[in-house]
Amino acid sequence: MKFLDLARPLLENPSILKIGQNIKFDIQVLANYDIEVKGTLFDTMIAHYLLEPDMRHNMNLLSEIYLSYSPVHIESLIGEKGNSQKNMRSVPDEKLKEYAVEDADVTLQLKEIFEPKIRAEGLEPLSSKIEMPLIPVLALMERNGVILDTEELKKITYGLREDIISLEKEIYVLAGMEFNISSPKQLGDILFIRLKLDDKARLTKTRQFITNEEILQRLAHKHPIVDKVLEYRGLKKLLSTYVEALPQLIDARTGRIHTSFNQAVAATGRLSSNNPNLQNIPVRDERGREIRKAFVPAPGCIFLSADYSQIELRLMAHLSKDKNMIADFLSGNDIHAATAAKIFGVDIKDVTREMRGKAKTANFGIIYGISSFGLSERLNIGRKEAKDLIDGYFNSYPGVKIYMEKSIKKAREAGYVTTMFGRRRYLRDIQSRNQMARGNAERNAINAPIQGSAADIIKIAMIRINDKLKSGSFKSKMILQVHDELIFETVESELDNLREMVIAEMSGAASLDVPLKVDWGTGKNWLEAH
DNA sequence: CCCAGCACGC
DNA sequence: GACGTACGTGCTGGGT
């Protein structure tokens, strides 16, 4: 009897607990053999992520820390990573056995340590109701993948290449010499030494000239080369990071792109995505948006995109219990306009674009714990005006200021802050005498509960939606998560049912003092649906 | 091979 | 006087 035939009934038995380190990986390997792992999961990597979200969670490290034991490194079996790295299949059975058994032993020992710690720290519900059940959901989304229309991408490629070459030529003429525009060092020397665009130019810590977008924007009026450089940078980024890289990641077996969702990287509880990162596909800039047209549904399908509207600001309203902010959300008015009306003391119908823009920046800044200096930099206004704006903000929403102070106080006293669902973030620098370290910790004390609660909520929605997809025998697939947005490859006949279900599960995932509003769109590519 | 600087997303 | 908005991934250049 083959091993798989022996293992299958155990792995597929829903009443047998599965303990592992990075179980999503095992689920994917077993899925290749048509084994569907069922039953409750306990993943030591995820457990440690909940216990110490800022740390790394690989098994050898955990073993060294918690078991004072250094397991065999995989490299000693299959060699260093690189071209010559061998496959697990090439490892002699005797060695493989030792490795596999040790791996299982260490994992079980770690579980015995982490499980009581999870319980002791009040993390059990977050663990057993959200993080562990999410593992197979992410595994399925990864296997689902998404189709990339390479012909559509090719169309973009030619235009980009041409424009980059002509920009390159124009830049060389304007600079009076050729240089590597992609080298910040060379570019800085051209702009600030050769062309003398700013005699007070700021330097990076490695004493190069800063040439980032913010600095260049301010210089744009001084010389035509600056805009060309900005455009060149943007187009190069699109070409190298997306247009040229994405087609290389199409899986030969499925013909689709399969990202990895990492559940144990972001210290706030968010997911991250890599190989490729499908959470940073361009959308703001007109030229970049074109790339989204290349993400398409399977024949007979249509994309449904559903996203939480202003979830972080709604969480600020909920967590702070600020009466005015709650009222602004309940009114159904545009929140940034409502904020502007309060800050500037005008009727909401008299709010100008400029006022709304400032209020919007202030709203974002508040979530991130911004200072008056930060806000003045961002809005390109004076320190005084920025301070007045912030004072106006706190007068409008006094509960928000109190909440921010309370968050910092909680961090000082407990050493950590928590999300709505008990996720912790330790802020060890909150007492630091180093201003920068302490400031950082204080901003995290404000941001982590908000960003983290939003992450908790969308994870709950994803689990419930996945359950409904199964129980309702939908053929539609959940394929992507982008922090506050879920994307589905929808069988067209299921669209109405699916949309209704998705919106209900997303808005019902948590009960706040303000509604959890969900916006949605559909389309024959990701740009249309967004 | 690693880090810095930069740019994309939320 | 310096610092100054959270969380990520990935590219290129440039030094080792």
Q: Which nucleotides of B are covered by protein (CB under 7 A)?
A: 1, 4-10
Residues 6+ apart with CB under 8 A from A415: A426, A427, A428, A430
Q: What is the pLDDT of residues A296-342, one digit of tens each?
A: 999 999 999 999 999 999 999 999 999 999 999 999 999 999 999 99
The whole-number pLDDT of residue A458 equals: 98
d(CA A389, CA A354): 13
Closest to A246 measured CA to CA, from A166, A157, A186, A314: A157
- Tell me the CA–C1' distance in angstroms for A440 and C5: 10
Q: Report CA(A273)–C1'(C8) in Å, whole number.
A: 8
CA distance A168 to A164: 6
Contact, A444 CB vs strand C, < 7 Å: yes
List, for residues A222-239, the tens digit of each pLDDT value.
999 999 999 999 999 999
Q: What percent of chain A has pLDDT over 70?
A: 99
Nucleotides on chain C within 7 angstroms of protein Cβ: 1-15
The pLDDT assigned to A82 comes to 59
Say what the pLDDT of residue A81 is: 65
Over residues A140-152, the mean pLDDT reads: 97
The CA–C1' separation of A241 and C2, in angstroms, is: 35
Q: Residue A379: which of A367, A361, A363, A392 has the closest Cα?
A: A361
Q: Which nucleotide is nearest to A370 (CA to C1')?
A: C5
Q: What are the tens digits of pLDDT across the range A336-384? A: 999 999 999 999 999 999 999 999 999 999 998 888 888 888 888 888 8
pLDDT-wise least confident of A75-84, A126-135, A451-460, A508-517: A75-84
Q: How would residue A94 be classed by pLDDT, with cut points 50, 70 and 90?
A: confident
- Judge whether residue A375 contacts strand C, using its CB and a 7 Å cut-off: yes
- Other CB atoms closer than 10 Å to residue A54's CB: what's the count? 11
pLDDT at position A351: 97
Q: Is the pLDDT of residue A525 over 90?
A: yes
User: Which residue is the nearest neighbor of C8, CA to C1'?
Assistant: A272
Of all protein residues, which has its CA closest to the C1' atom of C6? Answer: A368
Strands (E), A214-328: 260-262, 272-274, 295-296, 301-308
Average pLDDT, chain A: 95
The residues of A between 241 and 280 with beta carbon within 7 Å of nucleic strand C are 241, 245, 262, 265-268, 270, 272-277, 279-280
pLDDT value at A83 more than 60: no
- Ordered by where they begin, the domains of chain A are 2-144 (3.30.420.10), 148-255 (1.20.1060.10), 272-311+455-529 (3.30.70.370), 313-450 (1.10.150.20)
Q: Which residue is nearest to nucleotide B6 (CA to C1')?
A: A212
A287 pLDDT band, cuts 50/70/90, is very high
Strand C proximal to A70 Cβ, under 7 A: no
Is the C-beta atom of A419 closer than 7 angstroms to strand C? Answer: no
In Å, what is the separation between the CA of A278 and the C1' of C8?
11
CA of A184 to C1' of C13 (A): 8
User: Which residues contact residue A16 at a Cβ distance below 8 angstroms, ignoring those fewer than 6 apart?
Assistant: A10, A39
- Within 13 Å and on the Cβ side, how many CA atoms surround A377? 8
pLDDT for A3 beyond 90: no
pLDDT digits (tens, 9 = 90+) for A15-35: 999 999 999 999 999 999 999
Rounded distance in angstroms from the CA atom of residue A183 to the C1' atom of nucleotide C14: 9
pLDDT tens track for A403-432: 999 999 999 999 999 999 999 999 999 999
Any idea which nucleotide's C1' is nearest the CA of A268? C7
Q: Given a cut of 80, is residue A258 above it in pLDDT?
A: yes
pLDDT 10s digits, A196-219:
999 999 999 899 999 999 999 999
